[in-house]
Amino acid sequence: MSTLTTPAYRVTGLRVLRSEWTKLWSLRSTWITLGLGLVFLVAFGLISAARYESSVGSGQPLDEDFANATALSLSLFGTNFAQLALGVLGVLVTAGEYSTGMIRSTLTGVPRRLPVLWSKSAVYGVVALLAGVTGVFVAFAIGSGIVAATPAAMTLSHAGVVRSLLGAGLYLGLIGVLGVALGALLRSVAGGISVLVAVLMLIPGLISLLPTSWQDDISPYLPSNAGQSMFALTHDATSLSPTAGLLVFLGWTVLLLGGAAYRLARSDA
């Protein structure tokens, strides 16, 4: 008499990645928030370019914000808004499972725990990177056409443009990973989003109230400012180079991922 045996399935890195990929795209919030991120990235860039073109065409003096504008800076105006959408979705990728209790099933299936964090970070980081790169190139392609007949005119062949666009896409991808790390570290959607907004928007504003000498020493190393230096076309003595900005931002990301990994390994869900 033959007996039926249940096949043994091993937990492998590839299978965990596939699982996280499936979970990511099964959530309605993924489609909505990614869509919002792309809309913010492209729409605000085009609005900025159209406003600049209108100001130049009117013959009136340009606003201070537009004085040194380029097609690149105008097209990337939406980055500040898109980073919030992509960062918030990163928080939801991890903290959302804690709020629903689904994390217990996830960790039961992957008892070593840490592969879950690495897989979530890798899957969503790649998705945010691709969304960011796509958005910035679309925004520049259309925005540069809008301002083609103005002093801000610029094409992909100009020095540093492609590097800046790729840097902006990479920055948005890393923002996604940063959100994943915050969600896993704090295990709270509200807490993770609050800290994300504070890091990206509130703290830089508070630092601007400090004496100038302090600002010059602290401001370049904040996550948001270091990230922005990754895609800035020009730099001065108060900002980091693209490479230095990338290294600083990577340092913040690794620090938060390390904290999230420590808590995940040491405490129960």
Is 244 within the bounds of a domain? yes
Is 150 within the bounds of a domain? no
Q: Which domain holds residue 196?
A: 13-32+78-133+156-266
Is 238 within the bounds of a domain? yes
Is 67 within the bounds of a domain? no
Is 183 a residue whose pLDDT tops 90? yes
pLDDT score for 164: 95
Percent of the chain scoring above 70 in pLDDT: 94
Is 227 within the bounds of a domain? yes
Residue 234 or 135, more confident:
135
Is 60 within the bounds of a domain? no
Is 17 a residue whose pLDDT tops 70? yes
Is 120 a residue whose pLDDT tops 50? yes
pLDDT score for 168: 96
Q: What is the distance between the alpha carbons of residues 182 and 188, in angstroms, rounded to a whole number?
A: 9
What confidence tens digit (pLDDT) does each residue in 55-114 have?
887 766 667 667 788 999 999 999 999 999 999 999 999 999 988 888 888 888 888 889
**Is the separation of the CB atoms in 140 and 46 below 8 Å?**
no
Is 191 within the bounds of a domain? yes
Domain tally for the chain? 1
Is 6 a residue whose pLDDT tops 80? no
Spell out the alpha helix ranges (H) of the chain.
13-26, 28-58, 71-75, 79-100, 102-109, 114-146, 161-186, 189-197, 203-207, 212-218, 223-229, 242-266
Q: What is the mean pLDDT of residues 16-34?
A: 90
What confidence tens digit (pLDDT) does each residue in 189-198 have?
999 999 999 9
Q: What is the mean pLDDT of residues 39-65?
A: 84
pLDDT confidence tier of residue 8, bands split at 50, 70 and 90: low
**Is the separation of the CB atoms in 92 and 258 below 8 Å?**
no
pLDDT score for 108: 83
Q: Which residues contact 98 (CB under 8 A, 6 or more apart)?
A: 183, 187, 188, 269
pLDDT score for 205: 86
Q: What is the distance between the alpha carbons of residues 191 and 48, in angstroms, rounded to a whole number?
A: 32
Output the average pLDDT for the chain.
Answer: 89
pLDDT confidence tier of residue 1, bands split at 50, 70 and 90: very low
Residue 80 or 234, more confident:
80
Is 184 within the bounds of a domain? yes
Please state, as a whole number, how many other Cβ atoms lie within 10 Å of the Cβ of residue 186: 22
Is 7 a residue whose pLDDT tops 60? no
